Each structure stands twice: as structure tokens, then as C-alpha cells.
């Protein structure tokens, strides 16, 4: 199974071929327009979308014989989406700022979702997307979080899920050699803020994790795709 997550920086209908070339079975795509509104999506088998702006929401696409059998929106976060497929269940994430409740901004949204809806994640779920956070920002004395990335990792680890990138590459949280995001598209402002937590039993010696190269993707988006290939 090949899973990709890529914040496309909007207008995915014009950029989808670049992601299709990676041949993902399931793709989590933050900042995607509503597929029902515009675009030709015939290259994909199935899709689901959530959001409050038809130009900029969260989509999950599938390919091959994978179809979506059920969908659950997360009331506490407009850009989280749980889908069930015959291959794997996915909690897709696009963590956003929350000016009304700063304690629940970005990674705090995911922490709240995991606490509020524990039934959506188990040892066979994939949690993937743009978390918009790195552990280096966990300590925020001016505006503390209701839960940080360390807390989220601990909760997912308790369910048997592991960050595929860190498990395969051996990097520690906050010390990632590969960036998934470049602030203002500047090569010298790299951050690792996109993740795929996958069932630990799917991570084998042959598991491959790829992060897109800056030169290959920066014209399309300030984010690089994260691709995980695991056993089915």
C-alpha cells in the first residue's frame, strides 16, 4: 500500500498529475478545492472532501480498487476527516490555527480530536496529513496548548501507531533531516510538519518513506509530499 500526504497549496485540479505520478493508493490532500465544484477527477477511483471554503478544504483520494465505504466528519475541527476503506481506515488531518481558542490551535486540534473521539483510532488506523507543527514548538509559554505533539505521539503510540518517517529514517522528533515544508517557499527555512502515523505491524524492513525534493516540488507548493509504502 502506498500512502501519500501533500498539502497542495490550492488548485489541486491543476497539480494532481504530479501526485498521481507517485502512484499512491490513498492520498491525503490539504488545501484542495471541493472536487464536486470544479476539476476532472476521473484519474482517481473515489474521493471525500470536508471544509468550509470550496476553494480550500481537505480531500482524501483513492486509486485502484480502493473505495470509501464510510465517512465521519469531526465536529471540533472542520478539516479533519475519518474515512473507512476496504484497505485501511484513515484519519486525515489538516490542523489549523484557532484564534478564538489559541490553546486548541494546530496540533492542539488533533490532541482534542483524539481525546474526544477515541473510537476513530485503533491499531489498524492511519493518521496522516499536515499537522502544522514540530516538536520544537511544543513549549509555548506565551500561549500554551491543550496538548502538544509529544502528547499526540504518545496517544498514537498507545494505539500501536508509529510515525513512518521516524521509524524508518531513525530521526528523532524535531531533528528531521528532510523538510516537508519551506516557509514562504524559501529553501533556507525548512520544517518537518507533515506526518503519517501508521500501524506498527505494517512497518517492516522493506517499508519505504520518501519526502519530495525541494527543487522538484517548490513550484507547485510550499509543502513536499510524504510518501509511505508499507505491506498491505
58-75 confidence digits (pLDDT tens): 999 999 999 999 999 887
Q: Is residue 141's pLDDT more than 90?
A: no
CA-to-CA distance for 109 and 142, rounded, in angstroms?
Answer: 18
Give pLDDT tens digits for 149-183: 999 999 999 999 999 999 999 999 999 999 999 99
pTM over 0.85: yes
Q: Is residue 3's pLDDT more than 80?
A: yes
Please, are residues 27 and 61 in contact by the beta-carbon 8 Å criterion?
A: yes
Measured in whole angstroms, the distance separating CA 34 from the mean position of its chain's CA atoms is 17
Confidence of residue 143 (pLDDT cuts 50, 70, 90): confident
Strands 89-94 and 125-130: parallel
Please report, rounded to a whole number, the percentage of residues in the chain having pLDDT higher than 70: 99
**172-194 core/surface letters (b: 16 or more CB in 10 A; e: else):** ebeebebbbbbeeeeeeebbbbb
Q: Is residue 142's pLDDT more than 80?
A: no
Amino acid at each position: 500500500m502506498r500512502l501519500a500526504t501533500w498539502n497542495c497549496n490550492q488548485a489541486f485540479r491543476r497539480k494532481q498529475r504530479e501526485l498521481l505520478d507517485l502512484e499512491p493508493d490513498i492520498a491525503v490532500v490539504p488545501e484542495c478545492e471541493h472536487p464536486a465544484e470544479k476539476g476532472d477527477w476521473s484519474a482517481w477511483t473515489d474521493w471525500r472532501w470536508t471544509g468550509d471554503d470550496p476553494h480550500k478544504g481537505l480531500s482524501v483520494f483513492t486509486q485502484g480498487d480502493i473505495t470509501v465505504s464510510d465517512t465521519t466528519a469531526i465536529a471540533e475541527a472542520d478539516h479533519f476527516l475519518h474515512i473507512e476503506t476496504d484497505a485501511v481506515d484513515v484519519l486525515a488531518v489538516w490542523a489549523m490555527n484557532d484564534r478564538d481558542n489559541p490553546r486548541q490551535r494546530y496540533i492542539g486540534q488533533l490532541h482534542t480530536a483524539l481525546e474526544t473521539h477515541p473510537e476513530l483510532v485503533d491499531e489498524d488506523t492511519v493518521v496522516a496529513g499536515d499537522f502544522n507543527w514540530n516538536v520544537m514548538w511544543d513549549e509555548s509559554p506565551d500561549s500554551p496548548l491543550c496538548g502538544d505533539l509529544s502528547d499526540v505521539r504518545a496517544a498514537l503510540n498507545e494505539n500501536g501507531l508509529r510515525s513512518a518517517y521516524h521509524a524508518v529514517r531513525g530521526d528523532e522528533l524535531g531533528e528531521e533531516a528532510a523538510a516537508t515544508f519551506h516557509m514562504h517557499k524559501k529553501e533556507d527555512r525548512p520544517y518537518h510538519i507533515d506526518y503519517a502515523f501508521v500501524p506498527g505491524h505494517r512497518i517492516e524492513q522493506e517499508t519505504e518513506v520518501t519526502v519530495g525534493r525541494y527543487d522538484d516540488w517548490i513550484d507547485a507548493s510550499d509543502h513536499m509530499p510524504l510518501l509511505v509504502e508499507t505491506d498491505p
